[in-house]
Amino acid sequence: MTASDTQQSILIVDDSAFEQRMLVDLLSELPYKVSVAVNGLQGYQLALAQHPDLILLDVRMPNMDGYTACRLLKANPVTEDIPIIFLSGADADEERIMGLSIGGVDFVAKPFSPGELAARIQVHLKLARRASRQRAAP
pLDDT at 35: 97
> For the segment 94-108, what is each residue's pLDDT rounded down to a tens digit?
999 999 999 999 999
Check if the beta carbon of residue 55 is closer than 8 Å to that of residue 85.
Answer: yes
Identify each DSSP E strand in 6-122 by its residue range: 8-13, 32-37, 54-58, 84-88, 106-109
Confidence of residue 31 (pLDDT cuts 50, 70, 90): confident
Question: How many CB atoms lie under 10 A from the CB of residue 31?
Answer: 11
Are the beta carbons of 32 and 9 closer than 8 angstroms?
yes
Lowest mean pLDDT among 52-56, 82-86, 115-119, 132-136: 132-136
Cα-trace Rg, the chain: 14
What domains can you pick out in the chain, each with its CATH number? Answer: 3-136 (3.40.50.2300)
Phi and psi at 127, nearest 5°, equal -65, -40
**C-alpha to C-alpha distance for 86 and 105, rounded to whole angstroms:** 8
CA 9 to CA 37: how far, in whole Å?
A: 14
What is the structure's pLDDT at 138? 76
User: Which pLDDT score is estimated for 64?
Assistant: 94
Are the C-beta atoms of residues 61 and 14 closer than 8 Å to each other? yes
Q: What is the pLDDT of residues 62-71, one digit of tens each?
A: 999 999 999 9
pLDDT band at 134 (very low <50, low <70, confident <90, very high): confident
pLDDT at 4: 44
